[in-house]
Amino acid sequence: MKKIPIGISSCLLGLKVRFDGGHKHNSYITGTLAEFFELIPFCPEVDIGLGTPRPTLHLVDKNGQIRCVGVKNPELDVTDRLQKYAEQLVEKLAPLNGYIVKKDSPSCGMERVKVYADGIDRQPSRDGVGIYTKTLMQNNPLLPVEEEGRLGDPNLRENFIQRVYVYHRWQQLLAEGLSVQKLTTFHARHKLIIMSRGDYLELGHLAADANKTNLLENAQEYILKLMQLLKKVASRNQHVNVLQHIQGYLKKQLDSDDKAELSNLIERYRNAEVPLIVPITLLKHHFRKAPDPYIENSYYLSPYPEELCLSNQL
């Protein structure tokens, strides 16, 4: 299977592009994720000509404007260059299905980047976004973006990778040619994933109301709302609701003992006694014996390759 292309901060691959000439190699990314993703490196600070090593940068609030300037030389202001660089990459980034950025970076950080008050000696706030990444996200609102530090959290890691696969399937749909039937099928196959995040009715209406006249408009609104919704991490109770919903498709196929066993495992998952993979594995076992077309076509039980083992830690 062809690897899914995602962008990544170059230093996370072990490339020596950091301000101090070093790197921040992430073994999980270059080991596990590299088996499934084509990792395409970007380093905006190097690419705008700062070189390696280079002066240290930080974010500074200057009269309400966040600027990326040198720590020792405040006259070094690369804000506009970083924004322009991100603007120039719009076409190159279009084929990507995700992006992993370096945390805490004044150019690449996604959230909680330090912002200093200009001319005031006080503790910096932690509400900044790297200049390059902020422009990147504004220009690519559908693109799943995550920091490498947050990938250490099993729930955030699973959420990001699931979003990458959903967006990849959407990109494939567009490449094959959008149609009303393909949009409704896409929604049907992702409906249970959507249900694990909240109310799916609005998205369902957008898909169901699509016709030849409004197809493009409905599809654009649909995918924007879907990718925004999927940023929410599914809670344990939301997963339980979906698992119980899926269980309903087996009510005529299972005897009382099998029903009790499945219900017990779902409750044990609710109580954090077993990971999500346990009830999912049992559900897959029952559906192999009693196939259901809707469940078989749904992505909820198999949202990404099993080898990633993401559900084992949820």
Express each pLDDT in 54-96 by its tens digit: 999 999 999 999 999 999 999 999 999 999 999 999 899 999 9
pLDDT recorded at residue 181: 97
Mean pLDDT of the chain: 95
Arithmetic mean of pLDDT, 196-215: 93
pTM: 0.95
pLDDT recorded at residue 311: 87
pLDDT above 90: residue 310: no
Q: Which percentage of the chain shows pLDDT scores above 90?
A: 92
Arithmetic mean of pLDDT, 304-311: 89
pLDDT category of residue 312 using cuts at 50, 70 and 90: confident
Cα–Cα distance for residue pair 272/154, rounded to 1 Å: 14
pLDDT above 80: residue 253: yes
pLDDT above 90: residue 1: no
Q: How many CB atoms lie within 10 A of CB 290?
A: 12
Q: How many CB atoms lie within 10 A of CB 102?
A: 23
Arithmetic mean of pLDDT, 199-217: 94
pLDDT category of residue 119 using cuts at 50, 70 and 90: confident
Is residue 12 a contact partner of residue 29, using CB atoms and an 8 Å limit? yes
Residue 81: closest CA among 55, 46, 116? 46
Running DSSP on this structure, what letter comes out for residue 276?
A: T
Chain segment 190-202, per-residue pLDDT in tens: 999 999 998 789 9
Amino acid, single-letter form, for residue 202: E
pLDDT recorded at residue 189: 97
The radius of gyration of the chain from alpha carbons, rounded to an integer in Å, stands at 22
Give one word for 15, left, alpha or beta, with left for phi > 0 and alpha for psi -120 to 50: beta
pLDDT recorded at residue 121: 78
pLDDT category of residue 229 using cuts at 50, 70 and 90: very high
pLDDT recorded at residue 314: 85
Beta bridge partners of 5: 38
E strand or H helix at 113: strand 113-117
C-alpha pair distances (Å), 133 with each of 30, 90, 129, 147, 155: 21, 12, 7, 10, 22
Arithmetic mean of pLDDT, 221-232: 97
pLDDT above 90: residue 313: no
Cα–Cα distance for residue pair 303/240, rounded to 1 Å: 17
pLDDT recorded at residue 309: 84
Q: Which percentage of the chain shows pLDDT scores above 70?
A: 100
pLDDT recorded at residue 230: 97
pLDDT above 90: residue 156: yes
On the question of a cis peptide bond just before residue 95, with omega within 30 degrees of 0, the verdict is no
pLDDT above 90: residue 120: no
